[in-house]
Amino acid sequence: MTTGRQLPGADRLASAFRTFRYSVFRLETLQAYVDPVETRGIAAFQRGDPEPPPDPVEAEWSALLRAHRDAGRTQQRVHVVTEPISDYLAYELTWEYAPHSAAGEDIRIIPITGGWPDDVPRADFTLFDASVLFQLSYGSDGTWLGAEPLTNPASVAAACFARDAALHQAMPWAQYMTRHSGLVQRLPRGF
């Protein structure tokens, strides 16, 4: 959570999401993230309430995803999910990923019940156009601390390898959801 200060690298990361040319890939490895924008939705989800109207930030994100899809740009995400899933992941897999997927994001899941995949790092990153890399940092509670641009070719090449390995091992979000009827029942209306 920010306290009136801009997080390191946040402006550059946001700009990259608006200006990438053909692809963006995001690797998620945490089982819970802390984001003030999600607070109201998580509380409603945990109470079993209907999904509240989209937050303006969430609506803007979905519009950006649709614009990228309509322009032929690819936006992909792989989340490594430890099973059994956390309460946060139940929320994210349903109320967050359903509208993102509908807006054009290719979301995939690597479910793990045992060991972590050897060729997938345990660190979040975002890779734009297979050449612009941001290492994402989080606190122990899942609070985002910032994004560090990494420009050395070895780091970018390693991220490209990790992206390919993660995509190869992941299943599409919709397929993952069909394996979890309890999650399907919690999808927002219309999904």
For 173-184, the pLDDT digits (tens) are 999 999 999 999
- Is residue 144 situated within a structural domain? yes
- Is residue 57 situated within a structural domain? yes
Amino acid in position 4:
G
The CATH number of the domain holding residue 90 is 3.30.870
Q: Where does the pLDDT of residue 4 fall: very low under 50, low under 70, confident under 90, or very high at 90 and above?
A: very low
Instruction: Give, for 144, the enclosing helix (H) or strand (E).
Output: strand 144-150
What's the domain count of the chain?
Answer: 1
Per residue in 7-50, pLDDT (tens digit) is 999 999 999 999 999 999 999 999 999 988 888 899 999 999 98
Contacts of 133 (CB under 8 A, 6+ apart): 125, 126, 127, 149, 150, 151, 155, 156, 159
Spatial strand order in the sheet of 144-150: 144-150, 132-138, 125-128, 23-28, 74-82, 106-112, 171-172
Tokens read off for 165: 């390995």
> Position of tokens 């890399």?
133
- Is residue 11 situated within a structural domain? no
- Is residue 9 situated within a structural domain? no
- Is residue 14 situated within a structural domain? no
Domain span including residue 62: 20-184
Tokens read off for 75: 């936006």
Q: Where does the pLDDT of residue 5 fall: very low under 50, low under 70, confident under 90, or very high at 90 and above?
A: low
Q: What is the pLDDT of residue 1?
A: 36
- Statement: residue 83 has pLDDT above 90: yes
Per residue in 89-129, pLDDT (tens digit) is 999 999 999 999 999 999 999 999 889 999 999 999 999 99
SS (H, E, C) 127-149: EECCCEEEEEEECCCCEEEEEEE
Give the residue from 176, 189, 191 showing the smallest Cα distance to 90. 176
- Is residue 42 situated within a structural domain? yes
- Is residue 97 situated within a structural domain? yes
What region, left, alpha or beta, does residue 158 occupy, with left being phi > 0 and alpha being psi -120 to 50 degrees? alpha
- Statement: residue 2 has pLDDT above 70: no
- Is residue 7 situated within a structural domain? no
